[in-house]
Structure 1
Amino acid sequence: MPTFKLPLSGDVMQSINPWSDMFKAFGSQFGLININLGRSSAPEIEQDILTEVGSYGRQIGRIGEALEVLIDHLDLKSLTPKQEAALAAFKAMQGEIAEIKAYHQKAERVA
């Protein structure tokens, strides 16, 4: 490698290895995307579910959609104010999620 000197400096030499530099930032992570499954009693099963069925976000999204169906058929007259507030908060959260999804779908169509 040729020697490069700036004014008022000594020799400037830097070895650049993108692989080792990239992995230093991640510590012991070996892939670009690693999932920490935490304290799972069956991490192999969890990994298979994530690979074959869907991400945690997809799973939670489907649970939310199923809950919306059940809520729509629920007799709301028998709920306490606290229960009504919980449902209202859930519906508000689902509405915010729907807005974010719509925004990203619109952005994908434009791109």
Structure 2
Amino acid sequence: MPDFHLPLSGPVNQAFQYWTKMTMGQVGLVNINMGKSSDPALEQKIIEDVGSYGRQIGQLSDALMAVLQHMKTDSWDPECKEAVEAFRQQVKEVAKLKERHQRVNG
């Protein structure tokens, strides 16, 4: 079945399949394929059994923040310091959104 791509969101491509699909536990009228994988069945199993992409990225962020708390970055070049600060700011923004979401949705 061919994928129908909507280019309305800029450079992001999402494949929408409008027919019932019964593979890897998915049954639905609209299924979204977020990208290509060398082993889609394994990737689906990881998402189902280990955690969503968001959960995996969140845990990586938590681990990297823990490492950064114990590293001395004073001698790092400015580009590296900026990258670390940008990462820290992004983690803070995600935390704010999660907190706001929890307050609104209980």
TM-score, reference length from structure 2? 0.71
1:89 counterpart = 2:105: no
Aligned to 1:54: 51
Q: How much is the aligned-residue C-alpha RMSD, in angstroms? A: 2.0
Q: Which has the higher contact order (CA 8 A, sep 6+)?
A: 2
Distance in 2, Cα, partners of 1:28 & 1:87: 44
1:108 Cα shift? 2.1
Aligned to 1:12: none
Runs of at least 5 residues in structure 1 that lack an aligned partner in the other structure:
1-24
Listed one character per residue, the Cα deviations across residues 7-26 of structure 1 (whole Å, up to 9, x for unaligned) are: xxxxxxxxxxxxxxxxxx95
Distance in 1, Cα, partners of 2:31 & 2:63: 29
Q: How many residues align?
A: 85
Distance in 2, Cα, partners of 1:81 & 1:104: 34
Q: If you compute each CA radius of gyration, which structure gives the higher value, 1 or 2? A: 1
Aligned to 1:28: 19
CA contact (8 A) 2:47 2:53 kept: yes
Name the aligned partner's letter for residue 36 of structure 2.
R
Structure 1 runs, 4 residues or longer, greater than 6 Å off: none
CA contact (8 A) 1:50 1:56 kept: yes
Runs of at least 5 residues in structure 2 that lack an aligned partner in the other structure:
1-15, 22-27
1:107 counterpart = 2:104: yes
Listed one character per residue, the Cα deviations across residues 13-72 of structure 1 (whole Å, up to 9, x for unaligned) are: xxxxxxxxxxxx952354166342532111111010010011111111111111100111
More helix by share: 1
